[in-house]
Amino acid sequence: MIIFRTILPYRKWLREQRSQGKSIGFVPTMGALHEGHLSLLRAAGNNGQTTVCSIFVNPTQFNDPNDFKLYPITTESDIQQLVSIGTDVLFLPSVEEMYPEGAIQQTSFELGNLENILEGAFRPGHFQGVCQVVSRLLDIVAPDNIYMGQKDYQQCMVIARLLELKQSATSLKIMPTLRETSGLAMSSRNMRLSEEERKKATAIWRTMKEMAGTLSSIPVPDLEKEAEQKLLAAGFDKVDYCTPADAATLGPWQPGIDAVILCAAFMGKVRLIDNLLVHA
């Protein structure tokens, strides 16, 4: 695996790849890699593409400075995992390389309502920061395909919008969420949970499945209240939301259309998110 820490040598390497007719499959990450990330890289490699992974903990997407400080950094083990699955390139830039003019959030992306609802409402500025970094990474890495996990459902919709705004030729490939056998969605943040907390956190998956089963028979406000109570009773400390939305727009869900149930809740200081698609 080649590791590039700066842009120029990457660009020279990319020119060579292009001259050999190779296409690039890209997986952007913030490190603390787990099987979910590796599955995205495997998908990228499966159709003969050269695989590029980036690891960059982007300061401009953290609305909570403590969350940024506590974000797990496991670079050595990340590199070992990437090598073990045959990743071709790791792009591992510094903050200065990514933001030569300083890590100040740009808020220039027209995301419409996606920015104000659900994750957008609870994490103001988060999606602008995500767009800022992904836009920069797309300009540098210049991939044919970008692979992202369905676990970050709203983020996938934001990136689809970003690609439209940039009139980008890169295709977004959304891959299914990987889960532990307990149902807990794989996430870098799980590393911050104790064994006991990991067990309790499986309540998100259970609660979403139960909500899916009663979606058409109970009014949405009652479903939300019930879900919150279940999550708190299972050991979550705070529930930001657990609600069904229109799977295509994230607007209000109505019977007869595909739904996505989205949840965000705190186990101690660790904020977990998950979602479940329910077809009409």
Query: Which residues are known catalytic residues?
Result: 37
| Least separation in angstroms between CB 133 and ligand PAF | 5
| Least separation in angstroms between CB 15 and ligand PAF | 25
Q: For ligand PAF, which is the closer residue by CB, 30 or 239?
A: 30
Tell me the C-alpha distance between 261 and 209, whole Å: 9
Q: Write out the DSSP string of the chain.
A: -EEE-SHHHHHHHHHHHHHTT--EEEEEE-S---HHHHHHHHHHHHTTPEEEEEE---GGG-SSHHHHHHS---HHHHHHHHHHTT--EEE---HHHH-TT-S--------GGGGTSTHHHHSTTHHHHHHHHHHHHHHHH--SEEEEETTSHHHHHHHHHHHHHTT--PEEEEEPPPB-TTSPBP-GGGGGS-HHHHHHHTHHHHHHHHHHHHTTTS-HHHHHHHHHHHHHHHT-SEEEEEEEEETTTSSB--TTS-EEEEEEEEETTEEEEEEEEE--
Q: For ligand PAF, which is the closer residue by CB, 25 or 278?
A: 25
Residues at the site binding ligand PAF, with contacts judged by CB under 6 A: 28-30, 58, 61, 130, 133-134, 152, 155
| Least separation in angstroms between CB 224 and ligand PAF | 26
Q: For ligand PAF, which is the closer residue by CB, 28 or 93?
A: 28
| Least separation in angstroms between CB 126 and ligand PAF | 8
Tell me the C-alpha distance between 266 and 173, whole Å: 29
| Least separation in angstroms between CB 247 and ligand PAF | 20
Q: For ligand PAF, which is the closer residue by CB, 58 or 207?
A: 58
Cβ neighbours around 248 below 10 Å, total: 11
* Bridge partners for 261 per DSSP: 244, 276
Q: For ligand PAF, which is the closer residue by CB, 154 or 230?
A: 154
| Least separation in angstroms between CB 2 and ligand PAF | 20
Q: For ligand PAF, which is the closer residue by CB, 13 or 68?
A: 68
